[in-house]
Structure 1
Amino acid sequence: MSIELRHAAACYQSADGEVEAVRDVSFAVTEGAFVSLVGPSGCGKSTLLSAIAGLEPLSGGSIRIDGQPVEGTSPKVGFMPQRDQLFEWRNIWDNVTLGLTVRGEKDAAAYAHVSELLERYGLAAFAKKKPCQLSGGMRQRCALIRTLATQPEILLLDEPFSALDYQTRLAVSADIWRILRQEGKTALLVTHDIAEAVSMSDRVIVLSRRPAVVKAELDMGALRPLPPMERRDTPEFHRYFNTIWKELDVHA
């Protein structure tokens, strides 16, 4: 499934009045592609992701999923926010299968898929534990499994690895890249980590300071078929990293 933004604009209310977060953002994510959004803090990256998920409206422009305008949430779109949002009174199994429960899903294969994900991410032994018994990194992995459990066709990732320690973050990001490649998922990642964006993405879109516009789009070219860890060892990785760093103009 594809995503297309046309002249997207978004505002939000603050104590000082209305704030223009996004002014004019246009880009497309083709089916099966992995695209990252990077930009200064407060430039509207997460706001755009929420709008694509159908969680909040734009103030201007449009968003289309597979050519159809976004008019609310869709089971075809999975959204993973920054916070894990696990329910403390539910055990891990009940948390990660929540989407299936809400849908009334009875298919044994769907639950077997969740069991496989728990095993893959080292959480099978914690299925009956409560979230308060897990570390921050383990909780975030549970949130990721909950998102994947309903097998969405589009994955919207709002800094999903930020709570993980460095080694786990590298391993999980590499595993997610592999899963998305194998299953042909379309993914849009919001991240402040330039290295993460370059190591995982087909394209990186750089947004300006608020109110955001698209400042640059970089195609990862020859890096595309390489797994994240292999990319990090190439001269091209460092060239893209430095290009994005300069575009962000962090010292301005």
Structure 2
Amino acid sequence: IFNIFLSAFLLFQIQPMIGKFILPWFGGTPAVWSTAMLFFQALLTGGYAYAYWLVKQSRQRWIHSALLILTLALLTTLGLVWRSPITPSPELRPAYVEFPVFNIFFILLASVGLPYFVLASNSPLMQAWFSRLQPTSSYARLYALSNVGSLLGLLAYPVLVEPFFSLQSQGWGWSIGFVLFAIVSSIIVYQLGDKKIESTSVEKTPRASISLKLLWMILGGVASLFLLSIT
């Protein structure tokens, strides 16, 4: 439970944090923030896709453990050369950019790409493992807890974090939170041990129609459109 809450909290803390850091580099225009949000939405989808792929693998515990170790190694390395593990070096700031989309994507990918990807995959991955280990229990509470963590992460940044801490301190604080998340995740993976999470029977349900899938996509697009229009 703590793992899912913490990952969701960190996931939605990093977006305004890194956005505030790089916005002045590109003039602070709305297009810059929209590009940053596009990056986060794309990586969030990638994290979900990774979780969907991982639960079908025979060595999913080892794969995910390797990803956690790689992410921690990257944060440690960046922490030695940057002011904090997630605040990019001024050397990455372009001198002049007329079309900054690719520059923004590169900076975000280099600074927070891998940690964000890992956090994005955590909630669906933990829910999948929970449902396979306890098929008679509902994982809806885990989904609800993830939403609570996301909301608190967004609310806490402008109220409790931004007014009182420098961006460098925010970067180190967030990185420490990620290390804690990685430790808890590693403990969960270790506790899974030899439990059969790879092969469980799943009750077959009717496939969703194309029109229903299209409706899901439209509703998701409308929500993202509203988000971008008011932020």
Provide the TM-score with structure 2 as the length reference: 0.24
Provide the TM-score with structure 1 as the length reference: 0.23
